[in-house]
Amino acid sequence: MTNTVTVLARAKVNLCLHVTGRRPGGYHLLDSLVVFPKLGDRVTAEPASSLSLSLAGAFGQELGTEGDNLALRAAALMPGGAALRLEKNLPVAAGIGGGSADAAATLRVLVALNGAALPPMAAILNLGADVPVCLRGRSARMRGIGDVVGDIPPLPPFWCVLVNPGVACPTPAVFRALSQPLNPGLPPLPAAFPDLDALFDYLAGTRNDLETPAQSVRPEVGTVLAALTATNDCALARMSGSGATCFGLYRDKGPALAAADTLRAAHPTWWVAAAPVSDDAGDDEIGEV
């Protein structure tokens, strides 16, 4: 038990996303490699007799504090009250799991604050398909409707640049534009990725099946992908999730920061962020006072 807990709700990036089927109820089946760059929203919890949520950050004004907010919905699954503060640094409805990461971080801070156990996985999954993998917060393979989360070989560290053109890309509209919901899953994973060449070669043989339908909904996605591809030393440019955020992969910090600067200068209205990708927990647990 502690007085204050803060957790970094890392962005979720789908390095690849294969749509492998659709259930009769309409849920699509996925096969995806997911990583968590070292940037995101921040969720803070303090003891309180009732449940409340305050919003801050660059994108905080785009959220409501009503009960449909994912952080509040997650908190409602836990016993006791808390004063929650969500610093919203990630774009909303952007394909990088912002809401799901916030829900997962809320569960984590309340476990630390109140000593309660996590709710059942069925309740967690009901918050959203990405919440289980965001609760894990480390590189993983996500399958099914998001309910099957498994280990992958350790990934060599690298850098990514995330870019959002400032438009929402509604997930239902993207899936409706998907012409073929039955596609092959990921190629067999190797026992290890000895270096970045091996990782980038593997990713080159994968895809995001939602990328083309997303561009039909939001042509800006294609513009972002072209801009990322044109930056120096970009090993791969791809869309994350159902968009509209796209990413470029880089071997080192220098080229990633240079690419981010180039993109900001050319497109000042875009949201651009550069961050390392590593499974080192780093400052996920920001602190307990």
Residues 129 and 216 in one domain: no
Query: What's the structural domain count of the chain?
Result: 2
Reduce the DSSP state of residue 252 to 3 states and report it.
Answer: coil
Q: What is the DSSP letter of 190?
A: P
Crossing angle (nearest 10°) for helices 253-266 and 220-229:
130
129 and 175 belong to one structural domain = no
When computed from its CA atoms, the radius of gyration of the chain, rounded to whole angstroms, is 18
24-47 pLDDT tens trace: 877 899 999 999 999 999 999 999
Judge whether 287 lies within some domain: no
DSSP-derived 3-state class of residue 286: strand
- Identify whether residues 103 and 209 lie together within a single domain: no
Contact between residue 143 and residue 31 where contact means Cβ atoms under 8 Å apart: yes
CATH number of the structural domain spanning residue 177: 3.30.70.890
Cβ count near 44 (within 10 Å): 21
Question: What span, in angstroms and rounded, lies between the C-alpha atoms of 106 and 70?
Answer: 9
Q: Is residue 145 located within the same domain as residue 182? A: no
CATH assignment of the domain containing 57 = 3.30.230.10
Q: What is the pLDDT of residue 26?
A: 78
* pLDDT in the model for residue 130: 92
Asked if residue 110 and residue 52 are part of one domain, the reply reads yes
Give yes or no for a contact between 158 and 275, defined as CB atoms under 8 angstroms apart.
no
Per DSSP, the three-state class of 201 is helix
Assess whether 239 and 113 both reside in one domain. Answer: no
Give DSSP secondary structure letters for 187-238.
PPPPS---SHHHHHHHHHT--BTTHHHHHHH-THHHHHHHHHHTSTT--EEE
- CB-based contact 89:39 (threshold 8 Å): yes
Domain boundary among 151, 169, 184: 151
Asked if residue 244 has a cis previous peptide bond (ω within 30° of 0), the answer is yes
- The answer on 106 and 89 residing in a single domain is yes
Same domain, residue pair 215 and 187 = yes
Burial of 125: CB neighbours in 10 Å, binned 0-12, 13-18, 19+: middle
Kindly state whether residue 286 falls inside one of the protein's structural domains: no
| Of the residues 86, 119, 151, the one at which a domain ends | 151
Whether residue 116 contacts residue 76, with contact meaning beta carbons closer than 8 Å, is answered with: no
Residue 49: inside a domain: yes
In this structure, are 49 and 111 located in the same domain?
yes
Beta pairing class for 158-164 and 246-250: antiparallel
Query: Can you give the pLDDT at residue 68?
Result: 66
Catalytic residues: 12, 130
**Residue numbers of the chain with a pLDDT score lower than 70:** 1-2, 64-68, 280-289
Q: For residues 182 and 259, state if they share a domain.
A: yes
Tokens of 112: 């630390």
> Beta 246-250 vs 5-10: how paired, if at all?
unpaired
Query: For residue 273, which of 191, 121, 164, 175 has the smallest C-alpha distance?
Result: 164
- Specify the DSSP class assigned to residue 62: G
Query: 196 lies in which domain range?
Result: 158-277
Domain membership flag for residue 104: yes
Query: What count of other Cβ atoms lies within 10 Å of the Cβ of residue 88?
Result: 24
